[in-house]
Amino acid sequence: MDELIIRNKYKVVDRTTFPCDACGACCSIYALVDLHITDIFRMSEKLGITPKEFFEKYVQVIEKDGAYTFAMNIEGGCKFLKDKKCTIYEARSDFCSFYPNSHSCFDLSQVQKKEMKPGNPGCAAHRQPDDLILVPDLERMVDSRIFYMVKETYLAQYGGVYDEEGMKAAHQKGLSQIANPRMRNIVHLQVMTEFMENIPVDEKTGEPALTKDEVKMIYQKMRENHS
Ligand code: SF4
Ligand code: SF4
C-alpha cells in the first residue's frame, strides 16, 4: 500500500514495512498463541506430521466458562523458535503473522507500544513514530475471520475434542468459504464495521485518532491494494 498521510499528522503504512529486528522476543514472552483449524493443518503439513499428531503434541485446549478454544503454549519460548528464528515461518499461525498488529484491527503505533508486553521493550515497535498507523493485509484478515468462524462452529459441535472427520470437514469448509466471493463480501462488511467501532484513540489528545470518513478511506486503500 502506498503511504497515506492523514491531516498532515498520521502516516498510514503497510504492515510489511514494519522494521522487525527478528529478535525473537515476541515468540517467548507471551503465554499462548491462538490457533485456527487451518493453522493446525498448515503447520502439521510443514512439519510432515498429521493434523492429529500436531494436535496431540502442540495444541492446548483452553476452556473458559464452558467455551473452548485451541491455542499453542509458548510460555518460556515457542517450540518452533530456534536461534531467534521461526522454523515454520511460512506456515506460522494467523495470530503470529499479524504481530505486532492486533488480530482484528489496524493500530496506532503509540497504542501498540503501550499494549506491548512489559518484557518486550526491545521490540522495533518502540522505535516507530507515535503517529504511525500500521495496517495489516486486509484480505488475509478476511481469511482469518472466516477461519475463526469455522473454528467456532467446530468448537460448538465438538467442544475441545479432536474429531478426525469434523476437523477435515472444518478445514475444507474454511478453504471453500475463503474462495466464495459472497462470503468474503459479508466478512468485509463485518471488518469495516469493526474498524468503525474500534478507532484508536490518540493518547496525546484523548480524541479518536481518525474520523469515520478517514477510516473508510484507509479501508478503501487497503482494498485497492488487492484489486
Ligand atoms: S510459530 Fe513461529 S512466529 Fe509463532 S510463536 Fe512460534 S516461533 Fe514465533
Ligand atoms: S519482538 Fe518485535 S522486533 Fe522482535 S521479532 Fe518480535 S516483532 Fe520483531
Query: For a pocket test of ligand 2, which of 26, 74, 81, 102 has the largest count of ligand atoms closer than 8 A to its C-beta?
Result: 26
pLDDT one-digit tens code per residue, 166-214: 999 999 999 999 999 999 999 999 999 999 998 988 988 999 999 999 9
Question: For 99, left (φ over 0), alpha (ψ -120 to 50), or beta?
Answer: beta
pLDDT of 84 above 70: yes
Nearest to 198 by CA among 111, 139, 69, 130: 111
Q: Minimum-distance ligand to the CA of 92?
A: 1
Query: Could you give the angle at which helices 164-178 and 181-197 cross, rounded to 10 degrees?
Result: 80
Domain range enclosing 29: 4-224
Q: Find, among 59, 81, 76, the residue nearest to 68 by Cα.
A: 59
Asked whether residue 103 carries a pLDDT value surpassing 70, the answer given is: no
Cell digits for 206? 484523548
Q: What are the tens digits of pLDDT across the range 85-100?
A: 999 999 999 999 988 8
Q: How confident is the model at residue 18 (pLDDT cuts 50, 70, 90)?
A: confident
**Residues with Cβ < 8 Å from 52, sequence gap 6 or more?**
162, 164, 167
Look at the chain and report how many structural domains it folds into.
1
Whether the per-residue pLDDT at 46 is higher than 70: the answer is: yes
Q: Which atom of ligand 2 is nearest to the CA of 124?
A: 3
**Torsion 20-24-30-34 (CA) sign:** positive
Q: Tell me the per-residue pLDDT of 121-147, one tens digit each, with 9 for 90 and over.
A: 778 888 889 999 988 889 999 999 999
Q: How far is the CA of 122 from the centre of ligand 2 (A)?
A: 8
